[in-house]
Amino acid sequence: MVLPSGLWRIALVLGYPAGYTNAGFVGFQSFDAKLWMLTLSVVSELVAVLTIGLVRPWGEVVPRWIPVLGGRTVRPLAAVVPAALGAVALTALWANVPWWWTYPHDDMTETGSLVVGILYQPLFLWGPLLAAVTVSYYRRHRPRRGGTDSE
- Is 103 a domain residue? yes
Which domain, by its residues, includes 41? Answer: 3-141
Spell out a b/e string for 23-35, using b for 16 or more CB atoms within 10 Å of the CB, else e. Answer: ebbeebeeeeebe
- Is 150 a domain residue? no
pLDDT given at position 22: 92
Q: How many residues does the chain have?
A: 151
pLDDT given at position 147: 56
* pTM attached to this predicted model: 0.85
Total domains present in the chain: 1
- Is 148 a domain residue? no
By C-alpha distance, which of 90, 89, 151, 150 is closest to 125?
90
pLDDT given at position 105: 93
Residue 23 near residue 107 (C-beta atoms within 8 A): yes
- Is 151 a domain residue? no
pLDDT given at position 146: 64
Residue 80 near residue 53 (C-beta atoms within 8 A): no
- Is 147 a domain residue? no
Spans of the chain below 70 pLDDT: 146-151
